[in-house]
Amino acid sequence: MNKLSIVGAGMVGEAAAQIIARDELCRELMLIDVQGELAQGKALDVWQAAVESGSDTWVYGGSRAELLQDSELVVITAGVPRKPGQSRQAVLSTNLPILDGIMQDIKRHAPTATVLVVSNPVDVLTYRAWSLSGLSRNKVFGQAGVLDTARMKCFIAEETGFSVRDISALVLGGHGDSMVPLMRYCAVGCVPLSNFLSAQQIGHIVERTRNGGGEILGLKKLGSACDAPGVAIAQMVDAIANGRNRILPAVAILEGEYGREDVAMGVPCVLAEGGLTRVIELDLNEQERAMFDGSADQVVRDIAEMKALLGLE
């Protein structure tokens, strides 16, 4: 990939930039923020750190929308973080106009770029970004499931004592309290998790995963999670930049999969050079289907709230 831009030079954007530059996932990395000098300073810091890793990625920063020109991939992390006790949906009214402005800039300066949405509430904002872009769903999608899955793997490792290298996990649905950790698909070294943990222990992991972001927010007080989201972004960027055909959970616009249309949901997807090239539909059992439908219904309500704010309904 020649050029990648991150819009939002906050802690998440900076954390992602550090990994992307260090691992040479693009030739040129642009860090863009309304606070132009902040973006320039962080970009220079990231660049100098990457140089010490032997990276030839060039990193620049600034505030001008023109800096998006020729970007092949744009990652959107801009927006206000939620405060302790707030839901992700609570920041919608603030982050929605920010996203709308960014999408206008992208359409003007990088109209064919793939767009990865990270800002919260990510399901709703991914839907909005896609609806504004005029692009197919393979070009506009969101990051949530990679982070949620990482959190669940961390909790499974802590509970079992096994290496995270042998742990596989999967989270579907909306990025919030209604997310759906699929415990039937969780395993340690291909052995189902139920062989090692009781139903009570598994239930505790599910709840802790659903509240993973809130737990960090409550402990840090002055800031939300940044390092783990940065790693999750970099994983998705790596899959796209290197055409790896990786199966990763992403917030995708559904087109009939799982019985849903015109909604953005976290589902397993194939990420490759073309962006999101395929949505994988799993055969859910009755309980899993009920949880997924409940999560989807919540996202539909959240999208309706967004449309009401915009006067579209």
The structure tokens listed for 121 are 């509430």
Q: Is 109 a catalytic residue?
A: no
E strand residue ranges, 189-289:
191-192, 246-255, 261-272, 275-279
pLDDT of residue 224: 84
Max Cα distance, the chain (Å):
55
Encode pLDDT of 29-72 as tens digits: 999 999 999 999 999 999 999 999 999 999 999 999 999 999 99
Distance of CA 96 to the CA centre of its chain: 16
Distance of CA 186 to the CA centre of its chain: 21
pLDDT of residue 213: 87
In this prediction the pTM is 0.95
Backbone angles phi, psi at 192, to 5 degrees: -55, 145
pLDDT of residue 223: 79
Distant-in-sequence, close-in-space partners of 72: CB < 8 Å, separation ≥ 6: 1, 2, 3, 4, 26, 113, 114
Encode pLDDT of 160-178 as tens digits: 999 999 999 999 998 877 8
Task: Give, for all 313 residues of the chain, the pLDDT tens digit.
Answer: 999 999 999 999 999 999 999 999 999 999 999 999 999 999 999 999 999 999 999 999 999 999 999 999 999 999 987 666 666 667 889 999 999 999 999 999 999 999 999 999 999 999 999 999 999 999 999 998 999 999 999 999 999 999 999 999 999 998 877 889 899 999 999 999 999 999 999 999 999 998 898 899 889 887 788 999 999 999 999 999 999 999 999 999 999 999 999 999 999 999 999 899 999 999 999 999 999 999 999 999 999 999 998 888 6
Polymer length in residues for the chain: 313
In eight-state DSSP terms, residue 5 is E
Name the catalytic one among 42, 88, 109, 175. 175
Bridge partners (DSSP) listed for residue 26: none
User: What domains, with CATH codes, occur in the chain?
Assistant: 3-142 (3.40.50.720), 144-313 (3.90.110.10)
pLDDT of residue 142: 97
Determine contact, residues 246/277, Cβ cutoff 8 Å. no
